[in-house]
Structure 1
Amino acid sequence: MSQPQKEPGASSTPTPEQGRGGAPQPRGPQPGSQPRDLPMSSAIERKSLDPSEEPVDEVLQIPPSLLTCGGCQQSIGDRYFLKAIDQYWHEDCLSCDLCGCRLGEVGRRLYYKLGRKLCRRDYLRLFGQDGLCASCDKRIRAYEMTMRVKDKVYHLECFKCAACQKHFCVGDRYLLVNSDIVCEQDIFEWTKINGMM
């Protein structure tokens, strides 16, 4: 009994290009498409030149020494390298176009928009939305850490009890009175002073 022949390079398991259902998925910038924001987990893959080490989801059809880095345009001879935005990169060459931080670090995200590789901070600085703090009415920059309560947003340093000025920790209980945040210990006094009782 003969089995059907597979073309060279064909795989029985879906590749990242095929997706879960086996249907081909587009890769890379498509002509006429909008730039995309790619989180690192889907945009960067670590590759090893030693196939006996860890399994990779893609088999290179050319010798690694023939790969060209998307950053420096030099040959990639390193043991480990990255793949992002449909190009291969030296680990040191994949960096934010604005601040220069390395984007291949574990836990980092790569954002690709308008032909630029950006870290999260620079992406938010350029394309994020700013807002106002519900406590101090000052601008909250898109890259700043905030606390959110219902539809109100606060700077981290402004997220404190309006009565005793104690900063809240994870798990602390508080009440929202208009835009004021009040800890449990001060709620009775706060509402009495502000004529809410």
Structure 2
Amino acid sequence: MPECFGCHKIIRERYLLKALDQLWHEDCLKCACCDCRLGEVGSTLFTKANLILCKRDYLRFCVGDRFYLFENKILCEYDYEERMVFANLPQNSLDHIKRQTEILEAGSDAGSSGYGSSESPYTEHR
């Protein structure tokens, strides 16, 4: 007789579940967060940090591994690091980028192709 990996009791029921190469009672294979029976919510389960999770909780809790509080906002690690990079840049380097953008915008007109004249670089001259 097979033994349940969850409760370590013999599985005598007609149906059993196999997950993570182990056998389980239907009542023993549950989501670690919401305690739902995984056999009832679908055929897929997820694991994270040695926890067995249903799809909903996996997506809800494991979208990003790290979050930071920055200026009273919760940011994922990627956004937080991006803001730190910009925060550590000297202000004059950001002004330089802004000035370059303003110069480019002022020098362009609606009829320009962006190649310095109103003609396309592909215009054939005869």
Q: What is the TM-score normalised by the length of structure 1? A: 0.31
TM norm structure 2: 0.47
Structure with larger RCO (C-alpha < 8 A, sep 6+): 1
The structure that has the greater radius of gyration is: 2
Q: Whose helix fraction is larger, Structure 1's or Structure 2's?
A: 2
